[in-house]
Structure 1
Amino acid sequence: MRPKVKAEQARELFRQPLREQIDAKHPLLRLTDLIDWERLDDVMSASFTSHRGRAATSTRLIAGLLYLQHGFGLSDDDVVWQWLENPYWQVFTGETYLQTKAPIDPSSLTRWRKRLGEAGVEELLAETIEAAKKAQVIRSTSLKRVIVDTTVMNKAIAHPTDSRLLERCRHHLVKEAARKGLKLRQNYNREAPRLSIQIGRYAHAKQYKRMNRALRTLRTLRSRVGRVMRDVQRQIGAVAEGHRAGLEALIAKTKRILMQRQKDKNKLYALHAPEAECISKGKARQPYEFGVQVSITTTHREGLVVGARSMPGNPYDGHTLEEALEQAAILGDVKPEVAVVDQGTVAWRYRA
């Protein structure tokens, strides 16, 4: 059900509103008055088509928490708990009086991000550009000259190694089989984790001869993961039709990891993040990064972000330029005339 419009609270006799107790010149309070919360409410509420069920959380609260989360670089849990301790944050999200309980469960932010999608997040970014114009932080002419660059948005995954990936596959297969009531012939719960940890310890201690001896048993580990997978495949018919999708997807990922080799392309680096890619940006400290390439567009003069988009598939930087400039033109209502790029992209001027 669509979020209900929050009615303006009547002034209470024995409680003083938060805005009368805090600094009115605080940057967050000034930003609160610049953002068009009603427009954001219309945009965010459009994703709700059903009129049944409990009303959704206030869009003002969700939009405010998302702004605070990305502005201060916090996780879902941290932004919710710090909201309790910060009266400025509570006013920013539309509260009139001091609140002493968490407004939502942190997992709600994940579901809201999925519901909003790329278009909804772009609207949140567009509103920050409009707020910057109202505050005269940028001029409209500043949007005509921009800087476009790409970077890697690292995924929260462990460094991918064959031994670890195989062990995770075995662990998840055994766990899912137990959840579905399947009885495996052998699950290797004792031996496989010990073998995986041993290889990592030898590598960390630079005891390469011992590590190589342990790596020879990796073939055994690979075959054991295959045995568990085939055992699950034989019994998958006993699982109800509506509950097979997750197990079938896990089997497909396990097959992919078992078959991939060192020099293969489009490898799987994490079970929970199949979109992660191995990207080399030429950094001496970190030759390879695991994540997704993103394009960032900022104004040349003030450095305000006017565009951000993920570019899956690790495309060449020059091929992402047109798309980045198109997004900046839509969000800022001004078409960029000059794009400043680095040597990784063929330097050129984009003229209207």
Structure 2
Amino acid sequence: MYRKLQNTRGPEEAFELPFEGKLCEENRWVLLANLIPGSEFEEEYAQNFSEEMGAPAKPFRMALSALIIKEKLGISDRETVEQIKENPYLQYFIGENSYRNEAPFDASMMVHFRQRIGQSLLQNINQKIVQQGRGFKSEEPNTKKSEEAERPKENRGKLLIDATVAPADIKYPTDVDLLNQARKTTELIIDILYKSLKGNLEKKPRTYRKNARKDYLKLAKNRKPSGKERRNAVKKQLQYIKRNLGHIEQLIEKGTSLELLSRRQYRNLLVSSEIYRQQQWMWSNNKKRIEHRIVSLTQPHIRPIVRGKSGSPTEFGAKLSVSCVEGYVFVEKIRWENYNESGDFISQVEAYKEYTGVYPESVHADKIYRTRVNRAWCKERGIRLSGSPLGRPPTQVSREAKKQAQEDERIRNEIEGKFGQGKRRFSLNRVMAKLHNTSETSITLTFLVINLVKLLRQFYCLFLCQFFQNIMILSRRINFSYELNNRSKAGLIM
């Protein structure tokens, strides 16, 4: 059940502290609290709950602020709750009216917060924050029919687009290791199902788990196994899993039920059978690739993304398309399957028009985006796409063209820096969430926090400029009064 709370919290001066004093107006958490929208998205968040049944849920402001704190500080869920418990500024940030020396919620609630605040809601919040900070106004539809034709608006601004991968927190997958995990899962399920038929069966189905583990360790301890040794190890593990799956079918035929399994065990059984099918097909056809390949038993939604970069040619996680407008980043698409990011070019440019009301003057993108379709689409709308034109390069390149190419690459480096900031400073390089929806929430939240950090930095710059300007004015007044006193004294002396 969700109860919409009245916004009774006043400014930071009204926040009740157990000791004398008040919160500092220039604190970063006080400033960030003014940037986050509170009641505008509360109705959408309240749709996750019943109006009559259930215990009262935590407010939307508390859920969103707790996720922002975790991402900005780069800490775990438990540490986030402890930090909120000890810091009055963080309690003010999550919407409390007074300081309390107790945890506002349990650490397990952070998982529910990530499930309730989905990717689409975070995208809307991110757009709203940037619109308030930079004054972007989306183009509103005009219902009145004007007699005169509307004048075409001039293109303004620069749009930067690119794609990256957010690696998940999984062990580097190998075929033998994955099959070994599937084998142990099937052995555990056989043990559970056999207990219900222990009196009706003479012997327990044989799984040869000791021999299977020896075969696995024989390859795992070998530092440089040959291709033939790997293939033989995969074949043996496939045979063990095939026998175990056959035993499970026989136990079901003899009267046991899969209802004895927990929800997680049943899911692992389905994933193990799919892993066996994929690995058996690749082994039989001597292939190393298959569609929708599973690389993790506990996170079957993760796929290998071949990037071809030095150091990490293949990454395991979600692939996302990102746009950058005046230093602010927006996540346009998140997918777990590999795809060609050039297909998102038109949708990302149209999204820019929704943000600003006009098309960009230039689009700075990688070489993969510069297809014939995208070039023709940009030409119709008067948009300049960075990069050299198609065809054979000219023998002589003018200085202006070289300058323009260098300038385009310099501008495009900004979005690469945003990826570096997300992966080095925040959690984009290692997504710790285990579910596909919570992982998408964590990824989108990273870019929201990056935008908040940029807005906060701009506020501090404006504050410093105003501070130094006031100092200059004060020093001029002091100098003027000092000269005036000297002149008056000199007049008296004369």
TM-score relative to the length of structure 2:
0.60
**1:190 to partner: Cα distance:** 4.0
Q: Which has the higher helix share?
A: 2
Q: Which residue of 2 aligns with 1:5?
A: 5
State how far apart, in whole Å, the 2-side matches of 1:111 and 1:174 are: 32
Q: Which residue of 2 aligns with 1:259?
A: 277
**1:19 to partner: Cα distance:** 11
Work out whether 1:225 is the aligned partner of 2:241.
yes
Q: Say how many residue pairs are matched.
A: 340
Q: Which residue of 2 aligns with 1:126?
A: 127
Stretch of structure 1 that moved more, 147-156 or 113-122 = 113-122
Q: 1:321 to 1:231 in 2, by over 3 A?
A: same
- Structure 1 residue runs without a partner (length 5+): none
> Where does 1:72-83 land on structure 2 (aligned, <5 Å)?
72-83=73-84
Q: Which residue of 2 aligns with 1:313?
A: 337
**1:110 to partner: Cα distance:** 2.2
State how far apart, in whole Å, the 1-side matches of 2:132 and 2:5 are: 22
Q: Is the 8 A contact 2:176 2:233 kept in 1?
A: no
Amino acid at match of 2:161: V
Stretch of structure 1 that moved more, 15-24 or 50-59 = 15-24
State how far apart, in whole Å, the 2-side matches of 1:19 and 1:290 are: 52
Amino acid at match of 1:186: R
Stretch of structure 1 that moved more, 152-161 or 234-243 = 234-243
State how far apart, in whole Å, the 2-side matches of 1:142 and 1:271 are: 49
Q: Which residue of 2 aligns with 1:294?
A: 320
State how far apart, in whole Å, the 2-side matches of 1:168 and 1:6 are: 51
1:339 counterpart (360, 363, 367): 363
Work out whether 1:322 is the aligned partner of 2:361.
no
Stretch of structure 1 that moved more, 54-63 or 44-53 = 44-53
Secondary structure in structure 1 of the residue aligned to 2:117? helix
Q: Which residue of 1 aligns with 2:39?
A: 38
State how far apart, in whole Å, the 1-side matches of 2:126 and 2:20 are: 26
State how far apart, in whole Å, the 1-side matches of 2:332 and 2:113 are: 19
State how far apart, in whole Å, the 2-side matches of 1:61 and 1:94 are: 6
Secondary structure in structure 2 of the residue aligned to 1:37? coil
Q: 1:96 to 1:144 in 2, by over 3 A?
A: same
After superposition, give the CA deviation of every residue in 1:44-80 in whole Å (9 maximum; x if it has no partner): 1133244211011121110101222333444433433
Stretch of structure 1 that moved more, 40-49 or 174-183 = 174-183
- Structure 2 residue runs without a partner (length 5+): 11-15, 139-153, 199-203, 283-287, 383-494
Stretch of structure 1 that moved more, 118-127 or 180-189 = 180-189
Secondary structure in structure 2 of the residue aligned to 1:171? helix
Secondary structure in structure 2 of the residue aligned to 1:63? helix
State how far apart, in whole Å, the 1-side matches of 2:109 and 2:36 are: 23
State how far apart, in whole Å, the 2-side matches of 1:255 and 1:118 are: 31
State how far apart, in whole Å, the 2-side matches of 1:62 and 1:308 are: 23
Q: Is the 8 A contact 2:321 2:334 kept in 1?
A: yes
After superposition, give the CA deviation of every residue in 1:241-283 in whole Å (9 maximum; x if it has no partner): 6968766643442232223222323211112222222212221
State how far apart, in whole Å, the 1-side matches of 2:348 and 2:70 are: 24
State how far apart, in whole Å, the 2-side matches of 1:178 and 1:149 are: 50
Q: Which residue of 1 aligns with 2:181?
A: 168
Work out whether 1:16 is the aligned partner of 2:17.
yes
Q: 1:190 to 1:149 in 2, by over 3 A?
A: same
- Tell me the percent identity: 20
Q: Which residue of 1 aligns with 2:162?
A: 149
Q: Which residue of 1 aligns with 2:221?
A: 201
Secondary structure in structure 2 of the residue aligned to 1:293? strand
Q: Is the 8 A contact 1:69 1:76 kept in 2?
A: yes
State how far apart, in whole Å, the 2-side matches of 1:175 and 1:18 are: 57
Q: 1:98 to 1:165 in 2, by over 3 A?
A: same
